[in-house]
Amino acid sequence: MSRGSVWAAGLVAACLAFATAGCRGRGHKDYDRVPDADVVANGDARVDASIGDAVTLNPLLAQDSASDDIIGLVFDALLRYNPGLELEGDLAKSWQVRDKGLRIVFHLRRGVLWQDGKSFTSADVAFTYRAIMDPKVACPFKADFSLVSRVETPDPWTVVVTYRKPFAPALSAWAEASILPLHLLKGRKLSGGSFDSHPVGTGPYCLVSWKRNQSIELKANPLYWEGEPHIRRYLYQIIPDPATQVLEMKSQNVDTVNLSSVPDQYRDLSRSASFREIGRTFRFPGFNEYEFFGFNLLKPMFQDKRVRWALSYAIDRKALIDSILLGYGQPCSGPYVPSMPAYNPRVTPVPYDLGKAEKLLDEAGWKRGKDGWREKDGRPMAFTIATNQGNKVREEVATILQQQFARLGIRARVQILAWSLFDSQYVSKKNFDTVVLGWGLGMDPDQYVIWDSKESGPGGLNFISYKNPRVDRLLEEGRTTFDWKKRVRIYRKFHALIAADQPVCFLFAPDSLSAVNRRFHGLLVTKTGCMWYWPTRWYVPKSIQLYP
């Protein structure tokens, strides 16, 4: 079956056939030299590969990257970030911050329609705020709106948000909050209802189908306020094995692949002359993501800071970067990556020092037995290192940590779990000993929802259960201070405190690595990435479209 005939067979069949459909009968074309390269055309599709399925398509509940990928295409926020990492209007065309940060006035775009044809108004924004703060909804970013005292809508195109005290990350919070449709959700169940899997937004793409653990298909929204996307279809194909993703990319069954978790595949593709005929590779310095080895601080073993520091000393970060990332990354010492202004340059990554690790474990009472393994009060020093399936980097990190800890006389078992199971049954329920995971950070340095002790409850992102009153105070101060220089000083103190506590072992900030099929034109490539505004910019010239 040719790839073109898959689409001819119909959209439902396409979702099932894409994973195995081939390119038979299609000869190589020079995607860089086509007669209509500069003619912006409508049509074709983008097929994206993901190691895991979305957990939910409800913006109120999502806290995983797969869910966010789809939600970001179906929904809009009031604001968004541009390639210069500056805020610009999305559903709001303009805004003013007044009364020293106590009020924000948003002026909404007129003529915006929901994907079912109903008009978007300020009432939807007010409803979204109420939904976020609903005590029955375990919204992971509820704390970002906790200082709001009221949201007023003087007319259909104006929203006035009043805060009890100045809240520095306010604009960033509104940039990350997808706006919900009042007319579809008023009086309905906001969590656990049909909207979780049948969303309706104002974004560039509409949901067509969601086949769990197989694919999510979207179609271009003809009512989108910025204009219907040129790329008419989007398929989010669930392929847990990154190596298989790359094979599918080489066969042109997949168009875009995130290679950050498989740096060896990135290296090979970037050096392949045959791949360069059909695809482009991209490498950008990581600016908002880091990987870590984290502890469940409810476990008595990890409540002893000496144990946490010992395990941190036992990790050879340079070896991890050289052997696993192949040099595509840099070590980090705390909750910010080195390129972020809030990163504290005086805090250095924990050095590899087995001698210090041995000494700290001995001081903590974890002594080596005659067999060389450590124990305390008759209990062996043993724990599980859990991580998600499909992320080769994390899987390899977990395995190497297991080996490095064994040198200290520690028994560690590696547990690899499917993402949806790992997130819902282990991380969210605190049903783990240790994890290898990563954080993708927002543009604002505020990290209240990750580290504040009040965020350690059900549904909170502080799933390691970290608590430090000094950190809580700094996080509160940082989010109520508007002076940027003062904020940087506050967050650098916060960085130093977190590094001193070692509630997680900060490992490295990986480079962003990806590949894109060459038939796509209109890419906006900047130092911060290549995916900016793709729904409104990308197109495929008619002569090289693969999906009629």
Q: Is there a single domain that holds both residue 47 and residue 79?
A: no
233-238/215-220 β-pairing: antiparallel
Look up the domain containing 367 and give its range.
289-510
pLDDT for residue 3: 28
C-alpha span between 291 and 270 (Å, rounded): 24
Confidence of residue 355 (pLDDT cuts 50, 70, 90): very high
CATH number at residue 18: 3.40.190.10
Closest to 7 (Cα-Cα) out of 31, 35, 37, 43: 43
Exposure letters 389-398 (e unless 16+ CB within 10 A, then b): bbbbbbbbbb
pLDDT for residue 448: 92
Residue 26, pLDDT above cutoff 80: no
Six-digit token pair at 310? Answer: 């010992």
Taking each helix axis from N to C end, the angle separating 305-313 and 354-363, rounded to the nearest 10 degrees, works out to 160
Last residue of a domain, one of 153, 185, 217: 185
Taking each helix axis from N to C end, the angle separating 263-271 and 242-250, rounded to the nearest 10 degrees, works out to 20
Q: Is there a single domain that holds both residue 377 and residue 441?
A: yes
Confidence of residue 338 (pLDDT cuts 50, 70, 90): confident
pLDDT for residue 415: 97
C-alpha span between 117 and 138 (Å, rounded): 29
Which of 155-159, 240-244, 252-256, 366-370 bottoms out in mean pLDDT, i.e. has the lowest?
A: 240-244
Six-digit token pair at 397? Answer: 């990190």
Q: Is 41 helix (H, G, I), strand (E, B) or coil?
A: coil
C-alpha span between 325 and 513 (Å, rounded): 11
What single-letter amino acid sits at 22?
G
Q: Do 51 and 389 touch, CB atoms closer than 8 A? A: yes
C-alpha span between 383 and 364 (Å, rounded): 17
Q: Do 307 and 295 touch, CB atoms closer than 8 A? A: no
CATH number at residue 452: 3.10.105.10
Q: How long a stretch of residues is the chain?
A: 548
Assigned domain for 63 exists: no
Assigned domain for 62 exists: no
Q: Is there a single domain that holds both residue 375 and residue 487?
A: yes
Torsion of CA 398, 402, 408, 409, to 10 degrees: 150
Q: Is there a single domain that holds both residue 163 and residue 307?
A: no
pLDDT digits 0-9 by tens, 62-120: 988 899 999 999 999 999 999 988 999 999 999 999 998 999 999 999 999 999 999 99
Which class for 467: exposed (0-12), middle (13-18), buried (19 or more C-beta within 10 A)? middle
Question: Roughly how many angstroms between the first and final C-alpha of the chain, as a whole number?
Answer: 15
Closest to 105 (Cα-Cα) out of 168, 152, 145, 166: 152
For the segment 298-305, the average pLDDT, to the nearest whole number, is 98
Q: Is there a single domain that holds both residue 333 and residue 243?
A: no
Assigned domain for 66 exists: no
pLDDT digits 0-9 by tens, 468-501: 999 999 999 999 898 889 999 999 999 999 999 9
pLDDT digits 0-9 by tens, 184-239: 999 999 988 999 999 999 999 999 999 999 999 999 999 999 999 999 999 999 99
Q: Is there a single domain that holds both residue 469 and residue 354?
A: yes
Closest to 253 (Cα-Cα) out of 48, 61, 113: 48
State how far the alpha carbon of 409 is from the alpha carbons of 254, 316, 504, in Å: 45, 16, 20
Confidence of residue 278 (pLDDT cuts 50, 70, 90): very high
CATH number at residue 164: 3.90.76.10
For 536, how many CA atoms within 13 A lie in the half-sphere containing its CB? 8
Assigned domain for 243 exists: yes
pLDDT for residue 29: 67
Six-digit token pair at 69? Answer: 């990928």
Sheet containing 512-517, strands listed edge to edge, beginning at the edge strand earlier in sequence: 205-211, 215-220, 233-238, 45-50, 256-258, 512-517, 279-284
For every residue of 328-385, DSSP letters joined together read: -EEE--SSS-TTSTT--TTSPPPP--HHHHHHHHHHTT-EE-TTS-EEETTEE-EEEE
Kindly report the three-state secondary structure assignment for every residue of 97-110.
EEHHHCEEEEEECC
C-alpha span between 339 and 174 (Å, rounded): 24
Assigned domain for 69 exists: no
The distance of Cα 371 from the centroid of its chain, to the nearest Å, equals 43
**Higher-pLDDT residue of 22, 384:** 384
Which class for 356: exposed (0-12), middle (13-18), buried (19 or more C-beta within 10 A)? middle
Number of domains in the chain: 3
Quote the percentage of the chain above a pLDDT of 70.
95
Residue 4, pLDDT above cutoff 50: no
C-alpha span between 7 and 547 (Å, rounded): 7
Residue 28, pLDDT above cutoff 70: no
Assigned domain for 383 exists: yes
What single-letter amino acid sits at 443?
M
pLDDT digits 0-9 by tens, 411-465: 999 999 988 899 889 998 999 999 999 998 888 999 998 999 999 988 789 999 9
Residue 24, pLDDT above cutoff 90: no
Mean pLDDT over each residue of the chain, to the nearest integer? 92
DSSP 284: E
H/E element, 271: helix 263-271
Q: Is there a single domain that holds both residue 318 and residue 466?
A: yes
pLDDT digits 0-9 by tens, 520-532: 999 999 988 999 9
Assigned domain for 535 exists: yes
Q: Do 463 and 451 touch, CB atoms closer than 8 A? A: no
What single-letter amino acid sits at 379?
R
Assigned domain for 311 exists: yes
Degrees, nearest 5: CA angle 363-366-367: 95
Q: Do 58 and 191 touch, CB atoms closer than 8 A? A: yes
C-alpha span between 517 and 521 (Å, rounded): 10
Q: Is there a single domain that holds both residue 362 and residue 474?
A: yes
- How many helices, marked H, and strands, marked E, lie in the chain? 18, 22
